[in-house]
Amino acid sequence: MPLILLILKIYIKIKISKVYKFDMRILAIQNRMGIGDTVIFLPYIEKISEKFNTPIDLLVKKSSKADQFLSDTKYINEIIFLERDNKKLSRHNGIMGSLRLVNDLKKYKFDKVFIFNSSLRYNLITRLSGIKEIYQYPLFKKKNQLINKPAIDLIKKKLNLVANKNPKIEVDKNLEKLAINKYNIDKNNFNILLGIGGSGPTKRIPANTFLSVIKKINSIKNCKFFLATGKNENEQIILNQIMSSEFKEKCIPLDNLTIAETLPIIKNCNVSICNDSSFSHLSSGLGIKTITLMADTPLIYGSYSLNMYPIIPDGEITVGHDTLGKDKINPAKIYDKLISIIS
């Protein structure tokens, strides 16, 4: 029933967006690949929506899975997919693909566009599609850009706006209630999301680290742990190690659920402890205090939101792509951070 309801809601929203006439139609372009990449830009998109009193259409890659986590977010109107990847036959690749994208965008008759990159390609595409007002990062300055600093500068310089630091993702209240019933979520318990997966092996903290944290937390709270991860072989090994432990009765695996199906569960959690993964971004966007375990990703990805509490490897001052510190994330520090959050 929850999945049927969700599909119906998405269908209705798509139908409404196609027939409802807005006084102004605004497009935002975010061409990075991941879920987290999209979540990071939400505060700036929300602020633009507030400024012009209209929901924003979003052009993103399919890999962002934005349709799965933004369908209930009121400042987002329609998700339009940018079909561009490493495959030569992708619809929007190459010169002919650019012309197809021009024609695709023309149908919407956008009044304004905000381009969250420095690409001349998207500048030309939006001009050719007939959009009169184009707001974009300075052209040809992609090198050494911090992921969100140009976005902060763009809306400040062009619109005199300052965005909230916290991305906001909304979930239908009925789906929250359905999740409580389906997964026996007891609000008297301490419900914790454990984001144990990750897009690469260097981001995946070992199962023993999570088990140490589970043991300490469970000794002071009546806990239930929701294990969010993917289907990668290494992710499944970590999941199985936790599910084979003495705490298996306290754990519910979520690896068979879609992103959309996990959101109401996450929203019902008290706190999250996540690797640097889609779940850390989604959790913080849902307003959940999220401890982010930063093994080898630039710290900004785990600290851009006030709902994020990063933990870095022992012996490090900061963290980057060459840190490779998944075995140096200290479970005692995770526990101490959790206690400081809930105290």
Give the pLDDT confidence of 17-56 residue by residue, as tens digits: 444 456 899 999 999 999 999 999 999 999 999 999 999 9
**pLDDT number for residue 249:** 96
CA–CA distance, 12 with 258 (Å, rounded to integer): 20
Q: What backbone phi and psi angles, to 5 degrees, belong to 263? A: -55, -50
User: Judging by DSSP bridges, how do beta strands 26-29 and 112-115 pair with one another?
Assistant: parallel
Cα distance between residue 245 and residue 222, in whole Å:
17
C-alpha dihedral sign at 180, 186, 192, 196: negative
Whole-structure pTM value = 0.91
pLDDT value of residue 17: 46
pLDDT tier at 15 (50, 70, 90 boundaries)? Answer: very low
pLDDT in tens, 62-110: 999 999 999 999 999 999 999 987 666 788 998 999 999 999 999 999 9
Closest Cα partner for 64 from 47, 49, 76? 76
Q: pLDDT, tens digit, for every residue of 302-333?
A: 999 999 999 999 999 999 989 999 999 999 99
Domains and CATH numbers, the chain: 21-159 (3.40.50.2000), 173-342 (3.40.50.2000)
